[in-house]
Amino acid sequence: MYLLKIKKVILISFLLFLIIFGFTNISFAQKISDCNPQKLIPIKYKQSGYYVKNLQLCLIKIGINIPSGATGYYGKQTIEAVKEFYKLWYGNVSGYSIGQLGIKKLKELVTLLPSKTSKIKFERFKSEKDFMNYLLLANKDRELKGLGISKGMILEMPEATSLTPSPERVSETTVQIKGIDEPDIVKTDGYNIYFSKEPRYVISRPPKESNFISPYYEIESLLLLINAFPVENLRVLSKIDKAGDLLLLKDEKILIIFDKNLNKIYGYDISEPQNPKEKWNISLENTSIITARLFKNKIYLATKRFIEINEACPIKLFLLNNKEIILNCKEIYHPNILFPTNALFVVSVINPKNGEIEKQVSFLGSTQDSVFYMSYKNIYLTYSYNEETPNLIIDFFTQLSDLLPSSVIKKLSQLKNYEISSYSKLNEIEFILENYSKTLNSDEVLRIQNEIINRFKKYYSLNKRKFEKTIIVKINNDTLEIDSTGEVPGYPLNQFSLDEYNDNLRIAVTIGERFWEMGLFIGSRESVNDVYILDKNLKVLSYVLDLGKGERIYSVRFIEDKGYVVTFRETDPFYVLDLSNPQNPVLKGELKIPGWSSYLHPITKDKILGIGKDGQEVKISLFDVSNPENPIEKDKYVLSEYWSEVLNNFHAFLLDDKHQIFFLPASNGGYIFSYKDDKLNLVKSISNYSVKRAIYINDYLYVISENKIIVLDEKNFEAIKELSLEE
């Protein structure tokens, strides 16, 4: 809605298709050095000394490439750099000098780079009235009189005894951080498999009190508890008429079910798997689950709900065993600035034994692009916002004194200082410009239209990192208090876009892509991709900028002091970043190959597996990154498959490093690949349209589909046991 409002403002402004991607040709991943904008003075060719070096440092800071770096001498490379700098905003010049006009513009540009610190802070509401007033101001238009504008089945089975051998190896769900479990449809404790089948619609009789006409459809959910080890005992133990993603507490023998169809969470005692018992349940009130984690035998649940402008306090969040869980509005955090706020984020620590909520933290934000990442120490929740967009648009128009009358510029300038929501500012900008356009004839509108379109290309090119931002909220795992907040330009793709390492946060973002897709830009796609490093207080330490110009991020993986980023439009640039010095991250290597990878999985420190697509087919790539400056695609395999669940759900992937194999499901079946000797070999395929997952127990691979389980001996991958899951 907010982006659509921006679009409307821009289109109405003289019917200009205004927001157009710029044409900057800067490509850089340079160290951000100590440029002092206050020491910038006009400089000429062949000069040398402090002021020349400062000029070079400032040019490098805004992304102009000087191969030899800041040498302090104005030579041929500096000439080319100055020429490139002037091309961005002025035109063609010789490059033999930079004058007062150039110095003024360079000072402006230096301050336009991402801020080292965020101006956004979070604080609790002081009262219920404070809460309601904030929502009103942040989301509702208000009148500006000063400008004159308005606007189960149970099967008996004896419990495993001490005579049952214990498995030596048991697979875990593929997760981002080892030791922090994530929900998935299959879990195992080494003895039993817990499998949530796909919900299905079944014909049922309508309720007597309803007016439904037959046929009446209901959603049928089914979770199977399956005895899996020893293999010869493979059988269904029991069934639960609920299903969804699962978390399993092995030692506590508790199974958590996240039933999204019913919008409920269940806790089951599975100490007797042939007779599971529901211990507690949580109903979510007008709330959706973002995700959950299991860490140190506690459930960390992240939820999000839409907030109305007139939301009443207190807020009813959950029903725990039909008992209301209430959130007092004075417990809610909010940003200290006004921008469209439509979501309430809540992170809860839940005791899996009884469902009791032990700790909770909540804050207001935007529903747009929320990403959840959890490390051993902290939780990071992000969401996107565009608070500065109206002011940037105003800044642009107020620079057009040769196109707009002083009265219009004055009104726009005054509007910038009004403490109203961004949405309201966009309404007012629209009104002012629309009124002025009515005073012009069609010839003048056409002339001004073309002038503004041309100028805005350059303006956006120099300001693109201010048009869209991501707020990062850092929450301490132990206290569940907001530890710090920060912001970066652009938006992250998913949880792998964030990674905590040595108390610093690394985050990869795309800038410009979403605006282009919304139709807000006309012309060439000018998206860029950045990686930022933030300290423990979420202050920006450094960054690598402009990866994959005109492309967007498809996958990210941070592994210790290295970062791997895949962008895509026509080819698959695979970037290798050296992040060993958080003050000076460096782009070390780049590999361009056909296709793209949407999931990167480390096999070893120097071998990365990529799962993606090449054209219409699933592609698997094995990357060798032992030499960061020269990454190599050691091998690839293109499956005759259009889709694999791994492309958008990495939990479906399984790696068994003992046998050097991995498994992935696809449209026509399941595939087992070997990666021995840096070669990708298809060693086994299971033809079944409904293959979902695979797990291993000891040296047995259990391939799980909707209708059966097939057990393979990993020594030769021969099938040794099958179990039908049909009713």
Specify the 3-state DSSP secondary structure of 423: helix
Q: For residue 162, give the amino acid letter.
A: S
**What is the mean predicted confidence (pLDDT) over 639-668?**
97
Nearest-angstrom CA–CA distance, 483 and 493:
23
Q: Please, are residues 440 and 405 in contact by the beta-carbon 8 Å criterion?
A: no
Q: Please, are residues 63 and 31 in contact by the beta-carbon 8 Å criterion?
A: no
**What is the mean predicted confidence (pLDDT) over 514-522?**
51
**What is the mean predicted confidence (pLDDT) over 466-485?**
93
- 10-24, 234-248, 412-426, 457-471, range with greatest mean pLDDT: 234-248
> What integer pLDDT is reported at residue 31 of this predicted model?
38
- DSSP H or E stretch at residue 59: helix 50-61
Q: Does the CA dihedral 676-682-684-686 come out positive or negative? A: positive
Assigned token pair, 534: 């933030």
Of 330, 302, 303, 301, the C-alpha closest to 314 is 330
Q: List Cβ neighbours of 323 (8 Å cut-off, separation of 6 or more).
A: none
Q: What angle do CA 183, 682, 689 make, to 5 degrees?
A: 55
Q: Please, are residues 52 and 72 in contact by the beta-carbon 8 Å criterion?
A: yes
Nearest-angstrom CA–CA distance, 23 and 173:
45
**What is the mean predicted confidence (pLDDT) over 114-132?**
79
Q: What is the residue-averaged pLDDT of the chain?
A: 85
Assigned token pair, 459: 């303006």
pLDDT tens readout for residues 399-437: 898 989 999 999 988 888 777 767 677 788 888 888 888
The 8-class DSSP code of residue 390 comes to: H
Q: Is the pLDDT of residue 114 over 70?
A: no
Q: Which of 145-154, 481-490, 522-531 has the lowest mean pLDDT?
A: 145-154
**What is the mean predicted confidence (pLDDT) over 489-505?**
96
pLDDT tens readout for residues 38-82: 889 999 999 999 999 999 998 887 778 898 889 999 999 999 999
- DSSP H or E stretch at residue 12: helix 2-12
Nearest-angstrom CA–CA distance, 608 and 598:
13
> What integer pLDDT is reported at residue 62 of this predicted model?
76
State the number of CA atoms in the 13 A half-sphere of 587 facing the CB: 22
**What is the mean predicted confidence (pLDDT) over 619-625?**
97
Q: Show the domains of the chain with their CATH numbers.
A: 37-112 (1.10.101.10), 186-385 (no CATH), 512-724 (2.130.10.10)
**Would you list the DSSP string of 126-152?**
SSHHHHHHHHHHHHS---BGGGTB---
Assigned token pair, 218: 């209901």
Nearest-angstrom CA–CA distance, 579 and 56:
24
Q: What angle do CA 75, 79, 82 make, to 5 degrees?
A: 135
Nearest-angstrom CA–CA distance, 132 and 110:
39
**Residue holding tokens 């895949």?**
566
Query: How remote is the C-alpha of 724 from its chain's centroid?
Result: 39
- DSSP H or E stretch at residue 69: none
Nearest-angstrom CA–CA distance, 649 and 655:
15
Q: Is the pLDDT of residue 641 over 50?
A: yes
pTM (global) more than 0.95: no
**What is the mean predicted confidence (pLDDT) over 614-618?**
93
pLDDT tens readout for residues 277-327: 999 999 998 899 999 999 999 999 999 998 887 777 889 999 999 999 999
Nearest-angstrom CA–CA distance, 530 and 553:
9
